[in-house]
Amino acid sequence: MPVRFARLRIAGFKSFAEPATVEIRPGLTGIVGPNGCGKSNVVEALRWAMGESSAKSLRGGEMDDVIFAGTTSRPSRNIAEVVLLLDETAGAAPPPFHQQAELEISRRIERGEGSTYRVNGREVRARDVQTLFADLASGAHSSAMVSQGRVGAIVNARPESRRMILEEAAGITGLHARRHEAEVKLRGAEANLSRAEDLRAQLEAQLAALKRQARQASRYRNISGAIRAADAELFAIQRARVEAARAAARLAWADAQRAVAEATGAAASAAETAAREAETLPPLRNAEADARTALERHRVAREQIAAEEGRARAALAAASERLAQLRHDLAHAEQLSRDAGAAEVRLATEDAALAEADTGHEARLLAADAAAAEAADRVREAEADANRATEAAAEANAQTQAASQALTEAENRARRLADQALRTGEERARVAAVAIDAARLDAAAAAQSAAEAVLAETRTALAVAEAARAQAVQALAAARERQSAEEGARAKLAAETQALAEVLGVKDGERWPPMVDALGVPPGLEAALGAALGEELTSAADRGAARHWRELPGFDPAPPLPGGAAPLASTVEGPPALHRALSQIGLVETDAEGDAGQGTLAPGQTLVSRAGGVWRWDGYTVRAGAPTAAAIRLQQRNRWAGLRTLLAAAEIEAASAREARAEAEALERAATAAEGNARTARRDAEQRLERSRTAYAQLRAQAATVAARLSGLDEQTARIEGEAREAETALARARDTRAALPDVAALRAEVDRTRTALATSRNAETAARAGRETTTREHEARSRRRRAIDAERGDWRKRADDAAGRVADLTGRRDAAMLEAARLETAPAAIAARKAEASETLAAAEGAHRRRAALLADAVGKAERAQRADREAQAAAAAARESAVRAEGRAGQADAAWGVVAERILERLGASPDLPVLQTEPGPETEEKARRKLDRLAKERDEMGPVNLRAELEAGEVETQIDAIAREREELASAIAKLRGSIGHLNREGRERLATVFQDVDRHFQLLFARMFGGGRAHLALVGSDDPLEAGLEIYAQPPGKKLATLSLLSGGEQALTALSLIFALFRCNPAPVCVLDEVDAPLDDANVERFCNLLEDMVAETDTRFLVVTHHHLTMARMDRLYGVTMQERGISRLLSVDLQVAAALVEQPRMAAE
């Protein structure tokens, strides 16, 4: 049984603050309510529960926006949850729910935490839920979710975009994704192949260059050898030259040291003489300083008296200037007082004149108001006359223009209809000339049938080739798997064998192999033997080794072992040197036997157990379970021997697997070639069939278009003739109306007269208003001037008071200045007497200073001559020392030059300069000749340019890379072939499924269109390309009584009905458990809504789909089986109310039936 959508429960989702439940029952369930109350939130809740991941598709900015955001009276919620209940899901759901008859799918979101999906309480992924609904032909974006926008999208979409709905119905949307993925991989592989080719070419070029570089490197090494020999020759010459220079420098250094000693003695004698002369200078300097100090003191005193005299004269001049300024200020203050009195008199006179001019102002103002009111009345009367005349002229003019326009339109319409009639006749003749005859249609149908037969044959051949290739691929895969398994086993055994060999140290031809390698130990006895002998087994059997086993004869007789203990010599095979030791080691089965027999052991005897226990004759005991290195080595030795046998067998199996793979690859290549040929033949047949189908469809469409066009042209001709008769009647009526209109020129003259009178009245009114404003303005100006006069009079009175106070102040200050000037006139005479006395004292001090300065100058001259002699002696000594230093430096330089030569010899030649090979004296060749030879060789080497000395190694590395790229290229070529085969298979499968679905959808669309429109015909066509995967889907429709046209040429209602017919046709091909129709009846009128509802009822009767219909239309509501009303009684809070219309109708019928 099909899956049923049973119930939708909403809590905290958008406007549903409180839990609400929608029962999804059989038939039609309507969801109604005013705009903005939350109807679309119900549909979005269903889409959200089915896995919608785009917040934008849910009218939100982010997914948290689906949680109830709160209102002014209710807080927001942190959680939203939608639960969808499905019935009869056994066998339809994926594991682990495939056995459950009922599924409860919930999606819960917590603010800031994201969504959680659960199926029957078990948390699952979003992808699992989306896949579950996709398998049920449902989902957030499936064709079962039909909105008004989806209908509009189908109407407005291009044909290529409409093909997507066919692909969805055919279920090949996933094929597109897989093909795109394969194409991306193919492009990547081809790009990698191209890069590999480019890289191989680059590496080959690089290899050729490296080989050239290798030859150049060999020549470089030869020249370097010659340069080394030339270096040795040049260094021998330089060494001899440097040694001669060093000997000469040492001799000059000794002479310079003797000259330094002589110059140093002369400098010491001159220094003593200069010191004696310098001792006489300090007393003379002190006396001269005292005289100079007294002289300066008297000079400063005289200068101070002169400065005091200048200050006295300056103070007298300043007092005279202040007295003159005070006299000037006093005269100015007295003049200001006189000006204030004059201004007071002038302002009083002006105020009296203004008061007299303002008399009678009120009477003048009243007269100006009366004149302005009378002028305004005359203007209003003139305006009324002008308006009446203008309205009459405008009305007459409008009537005239309307009549003229009507006459012109009638004439134009008559001419246009005549032109249309002519063009329609010509168009009908052209259309009739291109009509398609039946013979061409029959020929195109026959060609299509023949192409279909050829395609069937090629498909059969391709199926056989694909089966053969599939068998070859399986055989190759099995061979590869076998080879991989055998190679893996061989590699594993080889690795383990090699590892054990390295651990054991197994080497061919080892000089002293350890004794343990010569033993044959049965499995299980490794621990026993290792515990008994331990590290002694690592000793050699050869007496040449430092630690070895010496062969001794056996005991005669041999001391017996305790009862039950078998000697190891009977089970372990080994060299004779170990026989004596093995014969005295007994093997016991249990620890109890070892403990019991330890006390009876003879000296040198030992008991061991298989688990590694040891009981020695002297009481030494080792419990089982303590592994020893010797035991581990014995176990590893046994394992190594076994692995060598297994490895030989694995080598044989791996070789056999490689041969089987080679045979399988040859068979697979042959099968692939055959399949390619068959696929090419089938592709050619498909292309021929597509071309024939397209040609036949185009002929059919052209024939239908021609017939529809001829019918439309006949209807258009009849319409044009009727409209022409109406146009002639309208033309006569317009001419009569225009003749009965009044004279517009007389009315316009009356308008001009009234406008002139209005202008005159307005000028008079303007003059009257100007007179009144002048009177008012003059009165206001006089008032402002009187107020200003009052302010100025107060200001002048204040100035007069200030001037009187200023005169009294300046008079007192003038008297004080006169007294100060009289006092200062007596000061210069007293200062002049003091100045003469100071000048005499200064002259006496200058004479004493000159005498002492002369004595000091004579002593200084003698001291300077002694110091000059001392400096000359010191300079001579310094020159001698410098000469000695230079001589020492030259000697050091010579030593350094010798060191440099020795260092360069060591650096360049790698030899000591004291070696005999470098002690060669220079021959007849000069140093310059040797240097030129070296320079020539160095230049020859430098002209070679950069040399890659690793060229040979790099050439080997590049050859290895070229081999790796060749192998990679082969792998890429194989991958490209596989990807191309996969893309071809996906294209073939897509074309087949799309062609099948197209036929089914076209058939259902034709039936539903006729049912929706009550007649007419329509069909679908693939246009734009011969390949169905690239072609567009065009919709041709012919409603009853109209011509055949594409969808875009129909009216709005016809487009909506046609799109709905296509949607339901798709739905019939791939029905879903539930279908949601969100206001799809909005663009339909009442008649079309009736047809839409009839179709819905038919769909309910024919399918098991349950319909949820969101609508505003009363006719749609009336046809529902039940209604859910979405209300918003509380602002921002949606609630659901339900009513079952069938139950309600039954309740209404019961009383009437009871009354009957």
DSSP characters over 990-1011: HHHHHHHHHHHHHHHHHHHHHH
Amino acid at 1114: H
Q: Give pLDDT, residue 1154.
A: 58
Cis peptide, bond prior to residue 96, ω within 30 of zero? yes
Q: What is the mean pLDDT of residues 306-320?
A: 75
**What is the model's pLDDT at position 910?**
61
Calculate mean pLDDT across residues 1012-1032. 82
| Helix, coil or strand: residue 16 | strand
| C-alpha span between 173 and 178 (Å, rounded) | 9
- Specify the DSSP element, H or E, that contains 656: helix 629-739
Amino acid at 655: A
How far apart, in Å, are the Cα atoms of 822 and each of 307, 315, 629, 991?
A: 21, 12, 136, 135
Q: Give the per-residue pLDDT at 508.
A: 46
Given a cut of 90, is residue 312 above it in pLDDT?
A: no
pLDDT score recorded for residue 1126: 92
- pLDDT of the residue at 502: 57
* Range in 17-31, 277-291, 971-985, 992-1006 the model is least confident about: 277-291
The string of pLDDT tens digits covering residues 1048-1061 is 888 888 888 888 88
Q: Name the residue with higher pLDDT: 876 or 47.
A: 47
CA atoms of 326 and 264, how far apart (whole Å): 87
Nearest partner of 1036 among 715, 698, 710, judged by Cα: 698
Instruction: Tell me which residue of 671, 195, 201 sits closest to 467, measured CA to CA.
Output: 671
Is pLDDT larger for residue 91 or for residue 634? Answer: 91
The amino acid sitting at 791 is A
Per the model's pLDDT, the better-predicted residue between 381 and 924 turns out to be 381
Rounded-to-integer distance, Cα 1090 and Cα 1097, Å: 11
Q: Is the pLDDT of residue 512 over 60?
A: no
Cα(713)–Cα(550) distance, integer angstroms: 128
pLDDT band at 907 (very low <50, low <70, confident <90, very high): low
Q: Which two tokens stand for residue 572?
A: 């372990």
Q: How far apart are the C-alpha atoms of 1058 and 1080, rounded to whole Å? A: 12
Q: Do 696 and 1022 form a contact (C-beta atoms < 8 A)?
A: no
Percent of the chain at pLDDT exceeding 70: 83
pLDDT, position 378: 79
Phi, psi at 146, each rounded to 5°: -110, 125
The rounded radius of gyration (Å) of the Cα atoms in the chain is: 65
- How confident is the model at residue 921, as a pLDDT? 47
- Place 31 in a pLDDT band, splitting at 50, 70 and 90: very high
Comparison of pLDDT for 987 and 704, the residue scoring more: 987
pLDDT of residue 811: 78
Helix (H, G, I), strand (E, B) or coil at 14: coil
CA neighbor of 458 nearest in space, from 679, 672, 693, 673: 679
What percentage of the chain has pLDDT greater than the value 90?
Answer: 5
Span 539-583, pLDDT tens digits:
666 666 666 677 677 776 777 777 767 777 777 777 776 677 777
Provide the residue type at 519 as one letter.
L
Structure tokens that stand for 1066 in this block: 């798709």
Q: Assess contact for 1061 and 1036: CB atoms under 8 A.
A: no
Six token digits for residue 1047? 């969808």
pLDDT of residue 1: 45
Continuous segment of H or E residues that includes residue 1125: strand 1122-1130
Residue 638 half-sphere exposure toward CB, CA atoms < 13 A:
15
Query: pTM value?
Result: 0.39
pLDDT, mean of residues 1033-1046: 87
**Lowest-confidence range among 73-77, 388-392, 543-547, 576-580?**
543-547
Using the predicted structure, report yes or no on whether residue 733 has a pLDDT greater than 80: no
Residues 6+ apart with CB under 8 A from 153: none
Question: Rounded distance, CA 104 to CA 83, Å?
Answer: 7
Is-contact 1022 1031, C-beta < 8 A? yes
What distance in Å separates the CA atoms of residue 248 and residue 894, rounded to the nearest whole number? 9
The model's confidence at residue 171, banded by pLDDT at 50, 70 and 90, is: low
Strand 1017-1023 to strand 621-622: parallel, antiparallel, or no bridges (unpaired)?
A: unpaired
How far lies 158's CA from each of 153, 182, 754, 764, 1048, in Å?
Answer: 9, 27, 67, 75, 10
Half-sphere exposure of 878 (CA within 13 A, CB side): 6
Q: Does pLDDT of 1109 surpass 90?
A: yes
**Inter-CA distances, 349 with 69, 133, 352, 604, 793, Å:** 86, 111, 5, 164, 12
Quickly state the pLDDT bin for 505 (edges 50, 70, 90).
Answer: low
114-119 sheet: strands from edge to edge: 20-23, 4-11, 79-87, 102-110, 114-119, 122-124
Residue 82 has pLDDT above 90, yes or no: yes
Sheet bearing 1045-1046, strands edge to edge: 1017-1023, 1032-1038, 1045-1046
Residue 43: pLDDT above 80?
yes
Percent helix, strand, coil in the chain, to 5, is 70, 10, 20
3-class DSSP assignment, residue 114: strand
Q: Are 158 and 1033 in contact (CB under 8 A)?
A: no
Give ∠ CA 196-198-202 in degrees, rounded to 5: 110
pLDDT in tens, 913-926: 554 444 444 544 56
Q: For 865-892, what is the mean pLDDT?
A: 73
Band of pLDDT at residue 600, cut at 50, 70 and 90: confident
Q: Who has greater pLDDT, 909 or 55? A: 55
Crossing angle (nearest 10°) for helices 173-278 and 927-942:
160
Average pLDDT, the chain: 77
**Contact indicator for 754, 385 with CB cutoff of 8 Å:** yes
d(CA 582, CA 54): 84
> What pLDDT does 30 receive?
93
Sheet holding 621-622, edge to edge: 566-567, 585-588, 606-609, 614-616, 621-622
Rounded distance between C-alpha atoms, residue 1098 and residue 440, angstroms: 40
- Model confidence over 516-533: pLDDT tens digits? 666 666 776 666 666 666
Domain map (residue ranges) of the chain: 285-359+794-829, 362-432+741-788, 439-486+651-702, 507-625
Residue type, 604: G
CA distances from 940 to 211, 232, 233, 333, 1145 (A): 21, 18, 18, 112, 116
What per-residue confidence (pLDDT) applies to 45?
92
Predicted local confidence at residue 8, as pLDDT: 93
Tens of pLDDT along 936-952? 777 877 877 787 777 76
Sheet holding 1074-1078, edge to edge: 145-147, 1074-1078, 1106-1110, 28-32, 1122-1130, 1133-1140
* Residue 467 near residue 680, CB atoms below 8 Å: no
What pLDDT, on a 0 to 100 scale, did the predictor assign at position 509? 44
Query: For the purposes of burial, counting CB atoms within 10 Å of the CB of 1062, is it exposed (0-12), middle (13-18) or buried (19 or more)?
Result: buried
The alpha-helical segments, DSSP class H, found in 1014-1083 are: 1052-1069
CA angle 1039, 1040, 1046 (to 5 degrees): 20
Q: Each residue of 188-216: pLDDT tens digit?
A: 888 887 888 788 788 878 777 877 777 77
How many angstroms separate the first and last alpha carbons of the chain? Answer: 42
Q: How many other C-beta atoms lie within 10 A of the C-beta of residue 957?
A: 13
Q: Taking Cα atoms as reference points, which of 1092, 1094, 1095, 1124 lies closest to residue 1108?
A: 1124
Cα angle for residues 107, 112, 117 (degrees, 5° grid)? 15
Categorize the per-residue pLDDT at 631 as very low, low, confident or very high, splitting at 50, 70 and 90. low
